Amino acid sequence: MNQTDYDVIIVGAGPAGIFAALTLTESARPRLLMLDKGPALEKRRCPAREMGRCVECATCSLMTGWGG
């Protein structure tokens, strides 16, 4: 098993997790790991692209604003 040491582990890539990571990296360069159960951001697709209108789903909210 490969072991990596981290200074900080953030669980959840929602607004709080993202801002925690941003704040930590502004003053230092910690070895940071961020874990999130959702799919990778580049794999999230907003249904509005296929439907032509926003259906206000969690994916759409995440891609265009804070939340999800």
Same domain, residue pair 49 and 24: no
Same domain, residue pair 31 and 44: no
| Average pLDDT of span 39-44 | 71
Instruction: Dump strand ranges (E) for 1-45.
Output: 8-11, 32-35
Give the integer Cα–Cα distance in Å for 40 and 36: 9
Same domain, residue pair 9 and 27: yes
Whether 66 has a pLDDT exceeding 80, the answer reads no
Whole-model pTM: value is 0.58
Give the integer Cα–Cα distance in Å for 27 and 56: 36
CB 53 within 8 A of CB 46: no
Same domain, residue pair 31 and 48: no
Q: Which domain holds residue 65?
A: 39-68
Which pLDDT score, from 0 to 100, does residue 9 have? 96
| Average pLDDT of span 5-33 | 90
Count of structural domains within the chain? 2
Same domain, residue pair 26 and 48: no
Task: Out of 34-38, 42-46, 55-59, give the one with best mean pLDDT.
Answer: 34-38
Same domain, residue pair 12 and 28: yes
> Could you tell me which residues come within 8 angstroms of residue 23 by beta carbon, excluding any fewer than 6 positions away?
none
The pLDDT confidence band at residue 68, using thresholds 50, 70 and 90, is very low
